[in-house]
Amino acid sequence: MTGSPASSAAPRPWQSQPDKEGHFGSFGGRYVPETLMPALAELSAAYAEAKEDGRFQDELSELLRDFAGRETPLYEARNMSQRLGQARIFLKREDLAHTGAHKINNVLGQVLLAKRMGKTRIIAETGAGQHGVATATGAALMGMQCLIHMGTLDIERQAVNVERMRMLGAEVAPVEAGSCSLKDAVNAAIRDWVTNVADTHYIIGSVVGPHPYPMMVRDFQAVIGHEARRQILERAGRLPDLLVACVGAGSNAIGLFHPFLDDEVRMLGVEAAGHGLDSGEHSASLVAGRPGVFQGASLYLLQDVQGQVHEAHSVAAGLDYPGVGPEHSLLKDLERVSYTAVEDGQALKAFVRLTREEGIIPALESAHALAALEDIVPGLPADSIVVVCLSGRGDKDLAQVMARMEDAS
Ligand SMILES: *Cc1c(COP(=O)(O)O)cnc(C)c1O
C-alpha cells in the first residue's frame, strides 16, 4: 500500500476529496464545452451547500428509509459460505431497494438537490433503462417533469423498461443518431441541458461525467458502505477482510468501498470480461483499458491504438460501458483496490448458482461479483469475512438467462 511520505498524520493519497476542479490525481476534471461551465459551477455550489445542511441530509435520510426501503439487510449467505469454505460471506442486499437496485440512492439525492435548486424538470439518459426507471421514479415522487433520452436501438431492446418509464409519467425521447444507443443518448442529454439549464437538472447515473458528478454520486452511494460497516461490526464484531463489487462505471463499488478506504480492508472490483479479454469484446476498462478523456472526464477507457473509443460488450447491460469513474482510476493506480474481470459465461453460472443456493435471483451485473468469489474464497485464510455488494435483483435478466441456458443444453 502506498505509504504517506511526510508523517503518519499526513492524509493518505486516496483519502482526499478531489481538488476544486474535481481531479482525483490525474483523473476526473471537467473536459466540457465552455457553455456547460456555468451549469456545473451552479451545481457544485448547490451541492456543497446542501451537503452541509442538516435539513437536506435529514430529508434525504427519510426518503432513503421510507421510500427506498433502507437500510438494506446484510445477509449471511451460509449455503454459499459452506460450499466455498474459509469465509463467512455476507451480501449487501441492494436488490431489495425500491426499483430493484442501488441506482435509487443516487437518484433520490439528486432529485432532492434539483428541487432545492428550484429546478422543475429532470432529464437523464439511459441505455439498459435501469437508470431511466430510477430517474422517472424520483421525478414522479417530486412532481417534476421528466424526459429520458434513449437510443432507438435501446428503446427496442428494453421495451419493458420503456413502458415502466412512461407509466411513471416520463417522456422517453428517441435518439436517432450514431449507433442509436447510450453514447448518442448522452450527447442528446448534454445538448438538452445546455439549452434548458434554467429549469432543468441532468441526473447522471454513475460516478462518471464532469466534476462534481463523480464526487456527488459517490457521496450518495456511500450509504451502502456506511450501512455495511455498521452492520458487519455489529454482526461479526470486526471489520471484513475483503469487499467485492461489480464495476460498470463504478457507483455501487465505490459506494461500498469508500467508507472503508482508511481501514485495513482489501477490496476487489470486478469488471465484465464479456467474451474474453483477448476477444476484444468486453467492458474491462480498468483491467484492459488506458487513460483517456470521455464524456467530460479523464479516466480509464477502452480505446483502440488511435485513441478511438472502443465499443464495450457485456452480457450484463449495466456493465456495458467503455469507461470507469475517475476515482476508481486513481485507486487502481495507487493499488489501493484490485480489479479483475470475469467472462459472460462465469457470470451466467454464478447467476444460476446463487438462485438455487440461496433463493436470491441476482442481477447479471451483480453475478460478476459473485463469480469472482469462486476462485478467491477457497484461497483465503480460515474464518475470513467477505462482504459482497449485491447491486440489484435479476428479474429483469430472466428471459436472457433462460435463452442462454436453452442454447447451452
Ligand atoms: C447499473 C447497474 C450496475 C452498474 O453500475 P455501477 O455504476 O458500476 O454500479 C450494476 N448493477 C446493477 C444492478 C445496475 O443496475
Buried b (16+ CB within 10 A) or exposed e, 184-206: bbbbbbbebbbebbeebbbbbbb
Give tens-digit pLDDT for 212-226: 999 999 999 999 999
Atom of ligand 1 nearest to the CA of 101: 13
The pLDDT of residue 127 is 87
pTM, whole model, 2 decimals?
0.95
Residue with CA closest to ligand 1 atom 5: 248
Sheet with 145-151, side-by-side order of all strands: 171-175, 145-151, 121-125, 200-202
The residues near 326 (Cβ < 8 Å, ≥ 6 apart) are 18, 22, 23, 24, 27, 28, 29, 207, 208, 214, 297, 298, 299
Q: How confident is the model at residue 2 (pLDDT cuts 50, 70, 90)?
A: very low
Type of residue at 144: M
Atom of ligand 1 nearest to the CA of 363: 13
Residue with CA closest to ligand 1 atom 2: 318
Whether pLDDT at 15 is above 80 = no
The pLDDT of residue 407 is 76
Give me ligand 1 centre to Cα 73, in Å: 18
Whether pLDDT at 14 is above 80 = no
Give tens-digit pLDDT for 116-150: 999 999 999 998 899 999 999 999 999 999 999 99
Residues with Cβ within 6 A of ligand 1?
101, 103, 130, 206, 246-252, 318-319, 363, 365-366, 391-392
In angstroms, the CA 133 to CA 200 distance is 18
Q: How confident is the model at residue 10 (pLDDT cuts 50, 70, 90)?
A: low
Whether pLDDT at 3 is above 60 = no
Give me ligand 1 centre to Cα 154, in Å: 17
Q: Quick one: what percent of the chain has pLDDT higher than 90?
A: 85
Residues in the chain: 409
Closest CA to 104 of 47, 48, 63: 63
Which among 71, 94, 125, 343 is annotated as catalytic? Answer: 125
| Of 8-22, 138-152, 276-290, 328-342, minimum mean pLDDT range | 8-22
- Where is 111: in which H helix or E strand? helix 103-116
The three grid cell numbers given for residue 355, joined into one nine-digit string = 438462485
Section 152-178 average pLDDT:
93
Higher-confidence residue of 327 and 186: namely: 327
The pLDDT of residue 180 is 79
Q: Provide the mean pLDDT of the chain.
A: 94
8 in active site: no
Whether pLDDT at 197 is above 70 = yes
Closest CA to 102 of 289, 252, 235: 252
Bridge partners for 393 per DSSP: 362
Q: Quick one: what percent of the chain has pLDDT higher than 70?
A: 96
275 DSSP assignment: T
Sheet with 290-294, side-by-side order of all strands: 23-24, 27-28, 297-301, 290-294
Q: How confident is the model at residue 17 (pLDDT cuts 50, 70, 90)?
A: confident
Sign of the dihedral defined by the CA atoms of residues 172, 190, 253, 373, in that order? positive
For the chain, the maximum distance between any two Cα atoms, rounded to a whole number of angstroms, is 60
Give tens-digit pLDDT for 33-74: 999 999 999 999 999 999 999 999 999 999 999 999 999 999
Contact 393, 93 (CB under 8 A): no
Atom of ligand 1 nearest to the CA of 393: 13
* DSSP state letters, 352-375: HHHHHHHS--B-HHHHHHHHHHHH
Whether pLDDT at 1 is above 50 = no
Give tens-digit pLDDT for 233-254: 999 999 999 999 999 999 999 9
Residue with CA closest to ligand 1 atom 10: 365
The pLDDT of residue 157 is 82
Whether pLDDT at 258 is above 70 = yes
62 in active site: no
Most informative mutation of 206, 295, 342 for ligand 1 (most atoms within 8 A of CB): 206
Closest CA to 239 of 214, 262, 270: 262
Give tens-digit pLDDT for 333-357: 999 999 999 999 999 999 999 999 9
Q: Is 264 left (phi over 0), alpha (psi -120 to 50) or beta?
A: beta
